[in-house]
């Protein structure tokens, strides 16, 4: 399944965007749970255009620079809706390289393992702090009428889940470090 297809359709359902704008969304908001590189987005835009799910308009930016601004078609909206409302099985395991290292921890010296876990904890705390800050900004943007009807609601759901994930990872790392220190 081409999940990137649906991510792009979802972005365009919110409003017209250039390829560059989409790349920015993947680095910012969507980056908390889905990633796509510039080199993946543009071929997918071509496929979606060929399939009739999106269309584009070439606009002039500045005095000469042309850029394509994409928008979703009625067929694209139907395709997105079908995907959104389809029930999905729980996905197989998500790849986590750090967990793979943790599994093979006995091949490390105790000090090396502690250093690795402490480093990961510091990075996860930093990520959690960023997510918490972004969540507070989103609450300010959404205002007091924050509900399911809000255009920010989906982002709120994703941010709260990402924050829970990082906080849970931090708690696990702390416990693991305590176990290592006990010997």
Query: How does pLDDT run across 140-153, given as a tens digit for each residue?
Result: 988 877 788 888 89
Q: Check whether residue 59 and residue 101 sit in a common domain.
A: no
Q: Check whether residue 120 and residue 67 sit in a common domain.
A: no
Q: Check whether residue 76 and residue 113 sit in a common domain.
A: no
Candidate from 55-64, 76-85, 96-105 with smallest mean pLDDT: 55-64
CA atoms within 13 A on the CB side of 7: 22
User: Could you tell me the residue range of the domain that residue 140 belongs to?
Assistant: 97-181
CA separation for the pair 123, 118 (Å, rounded):
9
Using DSSP's 3-state secondary structure scheme, residue 142 falls into: helix
Residue 71 lies inside a defined structural domain of this protein: yes
Q: Check whether residue 107 and residue 68 sit in a common domain.
A: no
Average pLDDT, the chain: 92
Residue 63: pLDDT above 80? Answer: no
Q: Check whether residue 73 and residue 106 sit in a common domain.
A: no
Q: Taking Cα atoms as reference points, which of 102, 106, 123, 115 lies closest to residue 166?
A: 123
Q: Check whether residue 9 and residue 38 sit in a common domain.
A: yes
Q: Check whether residue 118 and residue 68 sit in a common domain.
A: no
What pLDDT is recorded for position 91? Answer: 82
Give the number of domains in the chain. 2
What pLDDT is recorded for position 141? Answer: 86
Average pLDDT over residues 106-123: 96
Beta strands in the chain (DSSP E): 17-18, 54-61, 65-72
Average pLDDT over residues 41-53: 97
Residue 183: pLDDT above 80? Answer: no
Average pLDDT over residues 9-20: 95
Q: What is the pTM of this model?
A: 0.79
């Amino acid at each position: 399944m081409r999940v990137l297809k649906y991510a792009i359709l979802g972005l365009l359902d919110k409003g017209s965007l250039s390829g560059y704008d989409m790349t920015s969304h993947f680095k910012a908001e969507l980056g908390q749970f889905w990633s796509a590189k510039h080199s993946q987005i543009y071929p997918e835009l071509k496929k979606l255009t060929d399939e009739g799910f999106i269309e584009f308009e070439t606009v002039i930016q500045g005095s000469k620079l042309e850029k394509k601004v994409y928008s979703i078609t009625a067929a694209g909206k139907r395709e997105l809706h079908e995907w959104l409302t389809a029930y999905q099985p729980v996905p197989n395991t998500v790849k986590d390289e750090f967990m793979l290292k943790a599994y093979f921890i006995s091949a490390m010296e105790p000090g090396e393992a502690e250093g690795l876990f402490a480093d990961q904890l510091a990075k996860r705390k930093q990520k959690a702090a960023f997510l918490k800050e972004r969540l507070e900004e989103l609450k300010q943007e959404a205002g007091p009428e924050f509900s399911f009807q809000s255009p920010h609601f989906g982002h709120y759901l994703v941010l709260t889940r990402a924050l829970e994930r990082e906080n849970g990872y931090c708690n696990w790392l702390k416990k693991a470090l305590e176990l290592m220190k006990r010997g």
